[in-house]
């Protein structure tokens, strides 16, 4: 879908200001995709997991290319990429034209062996890219003590902050994030081997607590960045990715602070809103909006959050969310690492174009 398609919808939000004429819109399709350990053939990524064979790699990038083609998004936030070259291969298989593909920390080339230790996040876009920044270290306010591990001072998978610009000149901030999972964090020796009894229920509980504390501190660090970007600005912002918890969980709300709006209307200035909750086409909402299935239970881990500039009822709105869709049929096609174990979430956003000057008679 073109990034700047001008339309004249009859159902444009009345809350957006104008001069009485029908508003003109730039449409923007965004999507978030956890691509499940996307790596080059033959490269080791996790202990206990075999590298992809060439045949497996071909199946994976072909499958992803087909999904990217179906999404046809202007901006794709990707997670779990070990090799940027592998992502570029998947994008090429889509047959679509993207001018920018980047996964900082997973580059391949002389002296660049791809991601090490943990996969990275990246961005694929048709829009003009003005800047890209990886957030690695926490601000001091987000540093916490983790039992048995010491101070947690940095992101395991650094979020990516990109400043983009639409054709009509509007700036847009897109943050790609992948927070710490709920999987227990066990203590390891210098060689990276677990040195705790993982069958001990008390050890399991403490490992889960470590993961929760780490995810919460990452959420706080991300929240502080969101406030820095949004406070008393009119910058539209979209945060996408695998947040490893539900939209109303404590950790997600640490980032979004949506609930604060009920008590303080001024909090809208730096709050984020679930695109699913503020979309305009309510008739399209369905009860199958889950993006992951864990032990038979559907969950919403992969999210699209937007600033108030995309909330049609806000005085600060310069756009809206038209609809949100979850592409999750493949979750029922059996476990196969050539596919993802997450659904892909796509949102259609709009940004208002400047009013045309009155015609001169």
What is the residue-wise DSSP string for 83-111?
Answer: -HHHHHHHHHHHT---SEEE-TT--EETT
Tokens at 359, concatenated: 């015609």
Contact 239, 200 (CB under 8 A): no
Please give the pLDDT value at position 291: 56
Average pLDDT of the residues in 7-24: 52
Output the pLDDT for position 282.
58
Decide if 324 contacts 291 (C-beta within 8 A). no
pLDDT of 298 higher than 80: no
pLDDT of residue 340: 82
pLDDT by residue (tens digit) across 220-269? Answer: 999 999 999 999 888 999 999 999 998 889 999 999 998 888 788 778 88
Lowest-confidence pick of 13-17, 236-240, 286-290, 340-344:
13-17
Model pLDDT, residue 12: 42
pLDDT attached to residue 14: 43
Give 314-330 pLDDT, tens digit per residue.
Answer: 888 999 999 999 887 77
The overall average pLDDT reported for the chain is 88
How much is the pLDDT for 281?
Answer: 66
Check residues 9 and 113 and name the one with the higher pLDDT.
113
Q: What pLDDT shows up at residue 48?
A: 84
How many Å apart are CA 104 and CA 244, to the nearest integer? 21
Between 74 and 3, where is the model more confident?
74
pLDDT at residue 312 tops 50 = yes
Q: Give the pLDDT score at 91.
A: 98
Q: Is the pLDDT of residue 285 over 60?
A: no
- For residue range 190-224, list pLDDT tens digits in order: 888 899 999 999 999 999 999 999 999 999 999 99
Cα 164 to its chain centre, rounded Å, is 15
Query: What is the per-residue pLDDT for 321?
Result: 95
Nearest to 47 by CA among 118, 121, 120, 108: 118
**pLDDT at 335 (0 to 100):** 74
Query: Are 240 and 32 in contact, with CB atoms under 8 Å apart?
Result: yes
pLDDT at 88 over 80: yes
- Residue bearing the bigger pLDDT, 273 or 293: 273
Compute the distance between CA of residue 38 and CA of residue 171 in angstroms, rounded to an integer.
30
pLDDT band, residue 20 (cuts 50/70/90)? low
Q: 138 and 112 in contact (C-beta within 8 Å)?
A: no
Q: What is the pLDDT of residue 5?
A: 36
What is the pLDDT, as a whole number, of residue 18? 52
Ranges of beta strands (E only) in the chain are 25-38, 75-81, 100-102, 108-109, 112-113, 120-125, 128-134, 144-146, 150-152, 160-165, 171-178, 237-242, 272-274, 292-294, 297-299, 302-307, 319-327, 344-352
On whether the pTM is more than 0.85, the answer is yes
Q: Is the dihedral of CA 359, 165, 180, 51 positive or negative?
A: positive
* pLDDT exceeds cutoff 60 at 153: yes
Show the domains of the chain with their CATH numbers: 25-352 (3.60.10.10)
Is the per-residue pLDDT at 145 higher than 60?
yes
Token pair of 282, please? Answer: 């309510």
pLDDT for 360 beyond 60: no
pLDDT band at 10 (very low <50, low <70, confident <90, very high): very low
């Amino acid at each position: 879908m073109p990034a700047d398609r001008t339309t004249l919808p009859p159902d444009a939000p009345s809350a957006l200001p104008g001069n009485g004429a029908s508003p003109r819109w730039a449409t923007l399709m965004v999507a978030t995709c956890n691509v499940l350990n996307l790596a080059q053939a033959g490269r080791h990524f996790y202990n206990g997991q075999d590298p992809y064979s060439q045949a497996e790699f071909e199946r994976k990038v072909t499958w992803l290319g087909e999904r990217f083609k179906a999404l046809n998004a202007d901006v794709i936030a990707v997670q779990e990429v070990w090799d940027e070259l592998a992502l570029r291969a998947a994008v090429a298989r889509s047959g679509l034209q993207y001018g920018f593909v980047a996964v900082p920390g997973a580059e391949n080339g002389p002296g660049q062996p791809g991601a090490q230790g943990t996969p990275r996040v990246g961005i694929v876009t048709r829009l003009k890219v003005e800047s890209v920044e990886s957030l690695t270290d926490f601000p001091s306010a987000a540093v916490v003590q983790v039992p048995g591990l010491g101070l947690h001072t940095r992101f395991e998978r650094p979020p990516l902050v990109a400043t983009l610009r639409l054709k009509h000149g509007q700036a847009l901030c897109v943050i790609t994030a992948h927070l710490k999972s709920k999987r227990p964090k066990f203590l390891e020796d210098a060689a990276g081997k677990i040195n705790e009894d993982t069958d001990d229920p008390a050890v399991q509980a403490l490992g889960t607590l470590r993961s929760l504390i780490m995810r919460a501190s990452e959420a706080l660090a991300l929240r502080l960045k969101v406030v820095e970007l949004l406070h008393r600005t009119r910058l539209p912002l979209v945060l996408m990715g695998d947040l490893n918890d539900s939209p109303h969980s404590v950790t997600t709300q640490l980032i979004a602070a949506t609930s604060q709006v009920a008590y303080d209307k001024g909090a809208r200035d730096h709050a984020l809103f679930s695109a699913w909750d503020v979309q305009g086409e309510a008739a399209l909402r369905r009860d199958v909006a889950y993006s992951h299935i864990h032990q038979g239970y559907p969950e919403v881990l992969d999210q699209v959050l937007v600033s108030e500039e995309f909330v049609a009822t806000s005085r600060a709105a310069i756009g809206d969310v038209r609809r949100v869709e979850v592409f999750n049929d493949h979750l029922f096609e059996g476990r196969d690492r050539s596919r993802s174990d997450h659904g892909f979430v796509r949102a259609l956003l709009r940004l208002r174009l400047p009013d045309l000057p009155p015609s001169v008679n």
